[in-house]
């Protein structure tokens, strides 16, 4: 399964929303009321599990959650976004 679909699944499950129409430019942070500080932590935990990543909180910035594409890019290349 590709990264984008896996990420859509994570967001759908954690936030309990329909992500089937999410595209690269879909806004997340500030647009989805379901995406609050607690759900961000839950999303990060699930991303680490599904993608076999260890995300260093020091590398994390709000810009990574601005759009679906930013978050997908961060997962694919955690040190370059």
In this prediction, residue 1 has a pLDDT band, given cuts at 50, 70 and 90, of: low
As a dihedral over the C-alpha atoms of residue 45, residue 19, residue 28, residue 33, rounded to 10 degrees, the angle is -90
**Cα angle: 22, vertex 78, 35; to 5 degrees:** 40
In this prediction, residue 62 has a pLDDT band, given cuts at 50, 70 and 90, of: very high
Per-residue pLDDT reduced to its tens digit, 17-57: 999 999 999 999 999 999 999 999 999 999 999 998 888 88
Sign, Cα dihedral of 36, 38, 41, 46: negative
pLDDT at 81 over 50: no
* CATH number corresponding to 3-76: 1.10.1200.10
């Amino acid at each position: 399964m590709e990264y984008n679909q896996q990420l859509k699944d994570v967001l759908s499950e954690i936030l309990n929303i329909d992500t089937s129409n999410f595209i690269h430019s879909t806004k997340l942070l500030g647009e989805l009321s379901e995406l609050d500080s607690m759900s961000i932590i839950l999303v990060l935990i699930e991303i680490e599990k599904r993608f076999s990543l260890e995300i260093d909180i020091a590398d994390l910035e709000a810009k990574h959650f601005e759009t679906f594409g930013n978050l997908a890019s961060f997962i694919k290349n955690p040190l370059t976004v």
